[in-house]
Chain A
Amino acid sequence: MKNGTGAVGTIVLFGGTSELGISTVAHLLTPTVQNIVLVSRDIEKAQTVEDDLIKRSPQADITHIRFDGADAESMYAVVEEIVSAVGDIDVAIIAHALLGNDIDGYSNPSSVKALLDVNVTATMALMFALAAQMRLQRHGRIALFSSVAGVRVRKANAPYGASKAAIDAFALALDHDLQGSGASVVVIRPGFVHTKMTSGMKVAPFATNAHVVGERAARGISEGQTVVWVPGIMRFIFGVFAVLPRSVWRRLPVHD
């Protein structure tokens, strides 16, 4: 339960090894956080990142739960397992996703399936399962890591961008559906972030880092925002990109 100063008691992170996710959790920590649940495919790896969280919040209990981010059918049971372990979920952060760099749609069209299973199908199922629990609790925040890539999809990462466009649109509609239930959704749209996942990739303008993203995301979660852009200027850049006529958009030097 949240306390009277607005501090949360239980934080659940899906993608327990995600740099952005861990940074967000770290920025939400206060001395009254009671439970941190790290949900990941690889618990052994998640255990290596918990040290930093323990240092920051020695009073909190850290629980590890294993899940398969591609398995939509298991999501209801995963949420049930979390609730039976720690009770009400105050904040659920969804930070696991695939980039799909290995997709070669022309020669292997079905290689898009793994990406969509994780980024769209299973995530949507997870968000429904979380929303059902939070409707029952009558409180709770679901934070989805989306991306500016989904706001106007570029040809360079079309499958990834399209998957983020889908889940981002779904998340906003889910938030609408949850209105009045006490539960709500926040969509976090970072631009290019320097992380292990993006190392070696071509750096985009206004690149940021996991620390800043975590800080902004945590603020958005605490302050009840619905969309968080990181850095903030992305809101204006992609606000313009989104409405540019196709002929202009295609001429912009942003497509390689």
Chain B
Amino acid sequence: MTKVSGWGRAIGSSSDVSHVQSVADLKHILSGTTPRGVTLRGLGRSYGDAAINSGGVVAILGDTPRGAQTLSDIEIDTSRRLARVGAGVSIEQMLQAFMPAGFFVPVTPGTRHVTLGGAVAADIHGKNHHTDGTFGNHISSMSVMLSHGEIVELTPTHNTDWFWATVGGMGLTGVVLEAVIDLIPITNNMISVTTQRTEHIDELFTIMSDSSTDDSFRYSVAWVDMMSKGDAFGRGVLTRGNHASVEAVHDYGDLPSLAYRPRTRLGVPSWFPNGVLNAATIKTFNELWFRKAPAFPTETVENVTGFFHPLDGVRHWNRMYGSRGFLQYQCVVPLNTSDVLKEIMTMMQKARVPSFLAVLKRMGPANPGPLSFPMEGWTLAVDIAVGSSRLSEVLPEIDEKVIAAGGRHYLAKDSHMSHSTLVRGYPHLGRWKAVRNEMDPNEKWTSDLARRLQLVGVSQ
């Protein structure tokens, strides 16, 4: 048994870890006795307990060597702007293959260390959700292996229920072996970015609410200072961008290129002490970050790594929170309830919840996935260090606000919500469970998240 934890390192458990290199490996695991079920794991970037399985099997598909088997294949169809991608392929590997061919992934989250399987299971979203939707919106077909070994082909028009139960289904319906995804054509590796400072959260809401402008940017996201109060409450830095034109790159004095050069400059050691990220250091950081941003909208050209995956530049950045780890709180509330987000921020401030990183974004419409998180509205994602005293009391109060406003929480980030919060946030949960039972009648797939929130098992 090996200790496995989520990216936030606040929850962990012991499991039989199995590195899956091929479909045969998967079949071998499934044919064995697994009284505590099997959890599918990619690169372990879900923050909470979605990819851990106390006492059971954790099948890792995230580190398959390229070219070994189907699970790590990438096949680009240039004329149809599509690619067939294996389950274990990461966004980084995709970009390495796609960009020199003049394409970009349809959706990327804030890290490039996410596998295709994880992207489907969590139905990930990125800075382009308001214009392009989720990862699941860009899948034309996928092959999924069910727990009894059968492989089925799912598309949005064929086996619709099974398709949408798997998109966002947290790996609890079957193993996504490979998927065919849409690609975004690009002419170079740069993004034209407009950066602007906003002095108050209301200003941010006003600017981002103007959808005619916001929608003219494919990518849009704001960093928010969770610690600032009064006139500067929720001040932030809004960055919006589009894939740069060749002319823009020339104007910037650069030569257009399609090369992809991800870089990792620093690493955080495993012995990083507790308490370094505290109210004082975070306040200082936020002040610098805010002052660094231009006071008036400024246009620059940035490479994709800096724009999409800045935190990946620091290896093991999750260790900065020390041994107790951290939680990420991510919720979404309807567009007309932006006041609720302000209340939530105030509640966090009152409870002295220090947040190093808070991100605000306007999301576009939801897709048909019953467990898919995004819906039209405002999403706020906040990193919270564990150890701040009243978390177990404050978070449920905040959950209540989110639910009362008609919002919900992201399962790939969650490590605290209650079953009733889940049920009220996802009105189609019952339908998802029914489809799941069709796809996995023996309840082979599970996870600590699934147990905690009764997505599977007893009391269904």
B418 touches A59 (CB 8 A): yes
Interface string of A30-63 (1 = CB under 8 A from B): 1110110000000000000000000000010100
Question: In the docked arrangement, what's the CA distance between A61 and B419, Å?
Answer: 11
- The DSSP consensus for interface residues of chain A is loop
Mark contacts of A1-21 with chain B using CB atoms, 8 A cut-off: 1 yes-contact digit, 0 otherwise: 111111101000000000000
Q: Indicate if the CB atoms of B420 and A1 lie closer than 8 Å.
A: no
Could you tell me if B11 and A2 are in contact, using CB atoms closer than 8 angstroms?
A: yes
Task: Say whether, besides A1-B451, A34-B454, A87-B458, A138 and B54 are in contact (CB < 8 Å).
Answer: yes
A5–B391 CB distance below 8 A: yes
Interchain CB contact under 8 A, A138 and B395: no
User: Once bound together, how far apart are the Cα atoms of A3 and B396, in whole Å?
Assistant: 12
A-contacting residues, B76-129, CB 8 Å: none
Residue B55 is within 8 A (CB to CB) of chain A in the complex: yes
- Residues on B with C-beta less than 8 A from A175 are none
Please give, as numbers and ranges, the residues of chain B lying within 8 Å of A136 by CB-CB distance: 35-36, 55
Bound state CA distance, A138 and B15, in angstroms?
8
Give chain A's interface residue range (CB within 8 Å of chain B). 20 to 34
Contact call A182/B13, Cβ cutoff below 8 A: yes
C-alpha gap A114/B459 in the complex (Å): 37
- A86 contacts chain B at the CB level, 8 A cutoff: yes
A157: chain B residues at CB < 8 Å are none
A182 touches B14 (CB 8 A): yes
Contact A3 B54, beta carbon cutoff 8 Å: no
Task: Determine the residue in chain A with the shortest Cβ distance to B396.
Answer: A31
0 or 1 for each of B156-172: is its CB under 8 Å from A? (1 = yes): 00000000000000000
Q: Which of A7, A61, A135 meets B416, CB within 8 Å? A: A7
A87 to B447, CA, bound (A): 13
Beta-carbon contacts of A217-235 to B below 8 Å, as 1s and 0s? 0000000000000000000
The reply to whether the CB of B327 lies closer than 8 angstroms to some CB of chain A is yes
- A35 to B1 CA separation, bound complex (whole angstroms): 28
CA distance A15 to B13 in the complex (A): 29
Q: How far is the CB of A132 from chain B (nearest CB, A)?
A: 12
B54 touching A5, Cβ below 8 Å: no
Choose one: B48, B55, B399; the contact of A139 (CB below 8 Å): B55
* Contact flags A56-95 to B (C-beta < 8 A → 1, else 0): 0001010000000000000000000000111110000000
Q: 25 interchain pairs (CB within 8 A)?
A: A1-B448, A2-B11, A3-B416, A3-B452, A4-B10, A4-B11, A4-B415, A5-B386, A5-B392, A5-B416, A7-B416, A31-B393, A31-B396, A31-B397, A32-B396, A34-B452, A59-B419, A61-B459, A85-B459, A87-B454, A87-B457, A138-B36, A139-B13, A139-B54, A182-B55
Q: A2-B11, A5-B395, A182-B55 are in contact. List 4 more A-B contacts (CB 8 A).
A: A1-B451, A4-B327, A32-B396, A182-B14
A interface with B by C-beta (< 8 Å)? 1-7, 9, 30-32, 34-35, 59, 61, 84-88, 135-139, 182
